[in-house]
Amino acid sequence: MTKANSTKTKGSQTKSSEGSSAVTVARDLSRRAYLTMLEARLLEEKLAALYRSGKIVGGVFLGRGQEALSVALGVHLRRGDIYAPLIRDQAGRLAFGDTTLDTLRTYLGSSLGSMRGRDGNIHRGRPSEGYHAMISHLGAMVSTVCGGLVAKRFRGEKGAVGATCIGEGGTSTGSFHEGMNMAAVENLPLVVVVANNQYSYSTPNDRQFACSDLLSKAVGYGVAGHRAVGNDLVDCLGVIGEAVAAARRGEGPQLVVADLLRLVGHGEHDDASYIPEAMKKSPLGRDCLELARHSLIEREWLSHEEADSWHKAVEKEVEETASKVMREPAPDPSEEDWNAFASPSLGRNLKLGGI
C-alpha cells in the first residue's frame, strides 16, 4: 500500500507543532547533514579538477545536485545497518562513515586505500562493516543488501535496516525488479531510494520507463512508498527519516522516489549537453546545497559565518588530504600475489595456467 505523500511544509507551522527536543534533533541532524553535503561537494570538485589535470585514471562520477537526497539516507543509518551506496552517493557515504582520505586514496589509486588499487572510484567499500562495494551492474546491490538482512534475521538481530540508492534508469533492470520483489516476499527492513534525476547518462525518462509515476512501482511490489522533493534537504530528511523508521519498526520494504536534476555529466568525461536549458533553469534544477544553506539560515539553525568558516575548513582539509595522498605509492604489480581465492590451499600454485 502506498503511504500518503509525506512532504513536510516549511516554516514556523512545523516548529510550533513539534516539541522543542524534536526541533533540536532536527536542527542537529540538519546541520550535520549540511556539513556533510559541503564535504561531498568540495571533495568532488577536487576530484573533477584532478581528473581534468590527468591525475585520476579511469572514470569519475559525481553526485553534484544529489547531495541532499544522498545525505538524508546516510545520516539516518547507524552501525549495524547495511548500506550499498551507488554512483552519486558521496554525501551518503561520508555520513555513513566513509572518509575524504579513503575516497581520495581510491580515486588516486593509492596502495593504502581500502581497495588497494584492485578496484577504483565508486566501487569502494568495506563489506564486512556493512558498507558494500558496488558492482557496476545496476540493481545487483538490492538483493545483496537483502541477503545481509536475511542473515541478521537468522541471527535474531533486531532493529537493523538495509539501504541502497539507485537512479531511475537502474529501476529498469531485471535485478532491481528481482531484488525488490524478493525484499517484499521476505518482508525485509529495506529502504530503497530512487533518485529520479531525469537522465540516465543521456537517456531521458521517456525512453526509460512508461509508467506515469515511478512510485506506482511500490504498489506493484507490494511495498510502502514515499515521495520526497529531491533537492530540498529538510524535506528529504523528513521523508527518508520516516521511511527508515518504518523499516526499523518492521513495516517491510520502503520505496522512496525523489525528483531532482543531475547537475553534472554522467561522468566527468560527459558535458551533459543533452539536458535542455529550460530544465536546468527550472525549480528542479536548483542546487540543493544552496537551497539547504538558505533553508538552514532562514530557520536560524546556521549562520552565514558558520557556513563560510565550514566552507573554508573543508576546502583546506580536502586540499591537504589530496596533497598527502598524491605522495602515496601506487600498487606494485610485483608485490601482488595475483590470487583471487581466499582459501590458503588455492593460492599456492601461481604458475602460468594457475589453478
Partner 1 sequence: MPLPPLPLAGTLSLEGSREPMSSITYLEAIRLAQQRALKEDPRVFIYGQDIGVFGGAFKATKNLAKEFPGRVLDAPISEDAMVGLAIGAAVEGMRPIVEMQFADFSTCGFNQIVNQAATLHYRTGTHCPIVVRLPSGGTPGSGPFHSQSMEAIYAHYPGLVVMTPATVEDAYTMLLEAIELEDPVIFCEHKFLYYHLKAENLPATVGEALPFGKARIARPGRDATIVAYSAMVHEALAAAEELIQDGYEIEVVDLRTVRPIDTDTILASVARTGRLLVVGEAWPWGGVAAEVIARVATEGFGLLDAPPQRLNAKETPVPYHPALWGTHRPTASSVANSLRQLLEL
Amino acid letter, residue 281 = K
126 binds partner 1 (CB under 8 A): yes
Amino acid letter, residue 35 = L
Which one among 147, 222, 267, 331 touches partner 1, defined by CB under 8 A?
147
Q: What is the DSSP string of 76-120?
A: T--BTBEEE--TT-HHHHHHHT--HHHHHHHHHT-TTSTTTTSS-
Q: Considering beta carbons, is residue 119 or 242 the nearer one to partner 1?
A: 119
Stretch that binds partner 1, among 69-77, 95-103, 112-120, 293-301 (CB under 8 A): 112-120
In angstroms, the CA 147 to CA 153 distance is: 10
Stretch that binds partner 1, among 175-183, 226-234, 247-255, 303-311 (CB under 8 A): 175-183
Quote the longest CA-to-CA distance of the chain: 72
Q: Which three cell numbers stand for residue 6?
A: 509525506
* Cα end-to-end distance, the chain, whole Å: 52
Stretch that binds partner 1, among 18-26, 37-45, 143-151, 306-314 (CB under 8 A): 143-151
Q: What is the DSSP string of 290-346?
A: HHHHHHHHHTTSS-HHHHHHHHHHHHHHHHHHHHHHHTSPPP-GGG-------SGGG
In angstroms, the CA 146 to CA 186 distance is: 9
208 binds partner 1 (CB under 8 A): no
Which of positions 45-84 make contact with partner 1 (CB under 8 A)? Answer: 82
Stretch that binds partner 1, among 39-47, 60-68, 240-248, 347-355 (CB under 8 A): 347-355
Which one among 23, 123, 172, 222 touches partner 1, defined by CB under 8 A?
123
Which of positions 153-172 make contact with partner 1 (CB under 8 A)? Answer: 154-155
105 binds partner 1 (CB under 8 A): no
Interface contacts to partner 1, rule CB under 8 A: 82, 114-115, 118-119, 123, 125-128, 132-133, 135-137, 140-152, 154-155, 174-175, 178-179, 181-182, 185, 340-343, 345-346, 349, 352-355
